[in-house]
Structure 1
Amino acid sequence: MASYSIETRKLKSGELRFKVTVVVKKDSRIIHRESKTLKKKALAKSYGMRRVAELESEGVLNRPKSVPLAVLLDSFMAEPELWNRTGRTKRYVIKLLRDCDVAKVESNELKTSDLIQHCKNRKGAGAGGATIYHDIAYLRSVMKKAKPVFNIAANFQIFDEAVPVLTDMGLIGKSQKRTRRPTSEELKLLKEGLEKRESFRPNGKTRIPFTDILEFSILTCMRIGEVCSIRWEDLDQENKTVVVRDRKDPRKKTGNHMLVPLLGESFDIAFKQPKKSDRIFPYNPRSVSAGFQRVRNELGIEDLRYHDLRREGASRLFEKGYSIEEVAQVTGHRSLNVLWQVYTQLFPQRLHKKAL
């Protein structure tokens, strides 16, 4: 049988707090106890009545059990509907967490001190604040699904307390905004190097049109995964547009289809590709990125990523006078603020031309 009691406490400031304690007894023995402190007696009474009703209807024996975080992480990885919809970076982090000391902590007993120690361990191993932030964010995401999906009790609320503390201690932080854009000379060298790589096909490997893909990526501001997924059936020759399917959106994983204009020479680049597949560029995105990286490294070009080409394309559009709303139609950004802050890096010296 479940019941509750309310205890009134007075703080040093004179304010009152009301601690509601809920207990469940079986054969005169307490088999479950929980408590919560609230600012108002009416809230405490309401909470007590609700928890008594929930415990009597659900049964204490059926309540979620606490398990080591390693077990919860294993459960998440073994659930196809969750794991198959998890991105590559998050998968990597979850697998890493599985082998960390924090994975030994009980899911419902996780404390801020446990997270602080984990972050210190990761920092000591050389991880930066932005990298460690991913650990915390993805662990929280998994723990929030513990009860509804696996009936596992998990104290995910602890992150509300822990994140500000970890931030103040400098253990986690957001990544620095990248401003890197390739120079004209770097792009010239890259194109020359990629042309040489196109002509070299060991063991009969498929020829990847690296230079076409490089130029297309800049002109369309598409991610390399998007470039390699667009289809012939989605190409509109009359209006020079293409549908980009399942475009990245932090709020949705699938169904984000977007009609994108193919500006400049991008339509001609796409249209001249041989129609040997249902995709216009039927290549593995990783193979394209790997080829780019090898040529970049051979040329000694430092701190340039393939994704920086997306910023280069967006910045070019701004420099040509396109409005932020028009550029968003190309890049696919839902947040104009993010587009402006992250994906634009104008060359100040070019502003002199506008003053003439």
Structure 2
Amino acid sequence: MVRDAYYTLYQLNLIAKSERRSRRPIGDELDRIRSELLNRQEHRSAHIPYLDILEFSILSCMRIGEVCKILWEDVDGKSKAVKVRDRKDPRKKEGNHMWVLLLGDAWEILQRQPKTAACIFPYNSKSVSAGFQRVRSKLGIHDLKYHDLRREGASRLFEQGFSIEEIAQVTGHRNLNTLWLIYTELYPNRVHEKFNLLQRQRGMDVERG
């Protein structure tokens, strides 16, 4: 299969994907986008809950296409998780289902959606991302894509102390090296900072002893 050959060649570094992105919202960019999206969804002709979808996308680390396909029947209330069907994988296009835990407010956002359709967010993913792009452009925010929100969510988990393996269970990455490369680009000094903090704590313990 061509798809299998592509994956093998990619693993052998004989072909490569486009340059990795490391863009995250900076400063007050997200707050400005939220404010403008609120204005957009409060318009009388609007029907897409942009704010809920934005926050859910970040907290769940899902692609917008995945968010708009989640089914109510695939919600596990006991474990506060949802089944993401056919999750993107270079080796498998269909049947790659994965249970994803909804952490923090992601579960609350899901619960407050009206059950008017089979999907929790029954909206066209292209319409959602197009609305985001129009707002971003109106605000003069450059080079920020909707997909970057997935990186933002994963980066927040990393900052909160979750391990790469734990984050991969949320993002769906099969190759941990992909996550590792992203984080070494975004946080080159993080290990040094943690080491210095542990050293200071150890010194304080010695003084107390």
Q: What TM-score do the two structures reach when normalised by structure 1?
A: 0.49
Identify the residue that residue 182 of structure 1 maps to in structure 2.
25
Amino acid at match of 1:234: D
Q: CA deviation at 1:347?
A: 5.4
Larger Cα-atom Rg: 1
Q: Going by fraction, where is strand more abundant, 1 or 2?
A: 1
Instruction: For 1:227-306, list aligned pairs within 5 A.
Output: 227-306=67-146
Identify the residue that residue 217 of structure 1 maps to in structure 2.
57
Deviations 1:111-167 (A, max 9, x none): xxxxxxxxxxxxxxxxxxxxxxxxxxxxx949x9xxxxxxxxxxxxxxxxxxx8xx9
Q: CA deviation at 1:184?
A: 4.3
Unaligned 5+ segments in structure 2 are 6-13, 201-209
**Are the equivalent residues in 2 in contact too, given 1:310–1:343 (CA < 8 A)?**
no
Amino acid at match of 1:248: K
Deviations 1:221-277 (A, max 9, x none): 000000000011111122111100110011011001101000011000011001100
Identify the residue that residue 74 of structure 1 maps to in structure 2.
none
Q: What TM-score do the two structures reach when normalised by structure 2?
A: 0.81
**Are the equivalent residues in 2 in contact too, given 1:319–1:346 (CA < 8 A)?**
no
Count of matched residue pairs: 189
Identify the residue that residue 37 of structure 2 maps to in structure 1.
194
Q: CA deviation at 1:343?
A: 6.5
Identify the residue that residue 309 of structure 1 maps to in structure 2.
149
Amino acid at match of 1:230: I
CA distance in 2, matches of 1:240, 1:323: 20
CA distance in 2, matches of 1:288, 1:345: 29
Unaligned 5+ segments in structure 1 are 1-139, 145-163, 168-172
Deviations 1:265-302 (A, max 9, x none): 10000110011001110000000000000000000000
Report 1 or 2 for greater relative contact order, CA contacts < 8 Å, sequence distance ≥ 6: 2
**Are the equivalent residues in 1 in contact too, given 2:22–2:186 (CA < 8 A)?**
no
**Are the equivalent residues in 1 in contact too, given 2:33–2:136 (CA < 8 A)?**
yes
**Are the equivalent residues in 2 in contact too, given 1:311–1:345 (CA < 8 A)?**
no
**Alpha-carbon distance change, 194 to 322 in structure 1, aligned in 2, over 3 angstroms:** same
CA distance in 1, matches of 2:144, 2:176: 24
**Alpha-carbon distance change, 221 to 214 in structure 1, aligned in 2, over 3 angstroms:** same
Instruction: For 1:106-145, list aligned pairs within 5 A.
Output: 141=2
Secondary structure of the residue aligned to 1:248 is: coil
**Are the equivalent residues in 1 in contact too, given 2:50–2:128 (CA < 8 A)?**
yes
Identify the residue that residue 332 of structure 1 maps to in structure 2.
172
CA distance in 2, matches of 1:215, 1:248: 21
Secondary structure of the residue aligned to 1:260 is: strand
Instruction: For 1:27-176, list aligned pairs within 5 A.
Output: 141=2, 174-176=17-19
Amino acid at match of 2:148: D
RMSD over aligned Cα atoms: 2.8
Secondary structure of the residue aligned to 2:28 is: helix
CA distance in 2, matches of 1:280, 1:174: 33
CA distance in 2, matches of 1:299, 1:352: 36
CA distance in 1, matches of 2:86, 2:183: 20
